[in-house]
Amino acid sequence: MQVVPISSNISRLFPSEAFVNVGNRQGKALADQITTVSKLRLKERIGEVTLTDMAGIEAALKTHLQL
C-alpha cells in the first residue's frame, strides 16, 4: 500500500506538500516522501481527509512525480 506521510510541522509549505486537516488538527501531507508499506504495519486510522484535502494531495503528488 502506498502512503503519504503527514507532518504536524506546518511552518513552511513546499510545492510537493499540501495542507490537510486530520481530526481537528492541521498538518501537511508530504508527497515527496511517498512510500510503500505492508498493510500489516498499519494500525489504527487517525482520521479521514476531505475531498478538498485529497485534491491538494493529488496536486502535490503530480508536482512531485512531474505528471
Q: Where are the domains of the chain?
A: 2-65
Helix or strand holding residue 13 (H, E): none
The Cα-based distances of 12 to 22, 28, 48 in angstroms read 18, 9, 23
Q: Does domain 2-65 have CATH number 2.30.30.110?
A: yes
pLDDT tens-digit readout, 12-62: 999 999 999 988 889 999 999 999 999 999 888 888 889 999 999 999 999
The reported pTM is 0.85
The Cα-based distances of 43 to 14, 21, 23, 26, 37 in angstroms read 28, 19, 17, 21, 12
Closest CA to 62 of 12, 54, 13, 5: 54
